[in-house]
Amino acid sequence: MAVLSFGQALKDALDVAMSKDDGVFIAGEGVGVSIHYNPNLPTHGLLEKYGPKRVKDTPVSEAAIAGLAVGASALGLRPVVEIMFFPFITLATDMLVNHAAKLRYLSGGKSSFPLTVRIKAGVNFAAGCQHSHNLEAWLAHSPGLKVVFPSTPADAKGLLLSATFDPNPVIVIEEMLLYWMKGEVPDGDYRIPIGEARIVIPGNDCTVVSYGGSVYTALEAAKALLDEGISAEVIDLRSLVPLDKVCLLDSVRRTGRLVVLHDAAKFGGFGAEISAIVAEEAFDALKAPIKRVAARDIPVPVSPPQEMFNKPSSEMVIAAVRSTVGKR
């Protein structure tokens, strides 16, 4: 294993995929020369290695980038395209939701449409609400799209490689603040099956479910709760669609309690779906009401102190877990 940053692990995945299959190519705004000058950014150095035919800098048009990906996929290639900031996915949703997500279904499963969309996500870098709005619930609500949201360098590589060689369109959401985080990453063609959650730390008193960068908020809370004698089990979903319901429900049936955490807004967020699944399929195991911890239902502020206020904190998670176990 090598020790790589999150961004380097993504680059490693792209490098492996491009070396294995000449049909894999990268496209997006600044993926070649103008943006990815830092070695911790995912496409750094790939233009020099694979050339401008396979690493394409595009115009500033998310709709065109998504349309390029859909057309290339239909012709048998494996495009990996980048949307620079999560809110800009709204400009690409016609191609992704109305076309990419439906083409395999309309073929009766006879045709493959391998297409990967990498999206940069996250808050806490003072970029304003137009650049910092997490919309994973929108994408998860579109049948035909797979959605993954890794939190570690190893998962970033493994899920991106699985996405690239999946016969369906896959959205890979990358938390930008994790790009510099380092960890051990397996060498070579390392893949993690899409749809498998990971128990980060086991626990007995409450299940805390999260994904992406908010997993570390959950871990911080779980560590503090141990000092109070409360054992929280932290689950990293890794994949939102398909969702690992077995892992989720097994954990809740053991602990009898559930707290769901994400950095997206609370109303209509993905946490509501997790909560509904547990309420429908494991209600008899619950010892307390389900709690959701999420961002406030406002546009993400640009002011750093206000942005921190909007982002869910470990203290909010601690309070939610305490309330489920009857402690204040």
Known catalytic residues are: 62, 131
Q: How, if at all, do strands 239-241 and 146-148 pair?
A: antiparallel
CB 310 within 8 A of CB 300: yes
Q: Cα(first)–Cα(last) distance of the chain, in Å?
A: 44
| Max CA separation in the chain (angstroms) | 60
What residues have CB less than 8 Å from 34, skipping those under 6 apart? 57
Distances (CA, A) of 181 to 41, 176, 185, 261: 12, 10, 12, 21
Burial of residue 188, with CB atoms counted within 10 A of its CB: 0-12 exposed, 13-18 middle, 19 or more buried: exposed
Phi then psi dihedrals of residue 146, to 5 deg: -95, 145
Only one residue has tokens 């048998």, namely 76
The letter for the amino acid at 165 is: F
CB 95 within 8 A of CB 62: no
CB 262 within 8 A of CB 270: yes
Handedness of CA 127, 128, 130, 136 (dihedral sign): positive
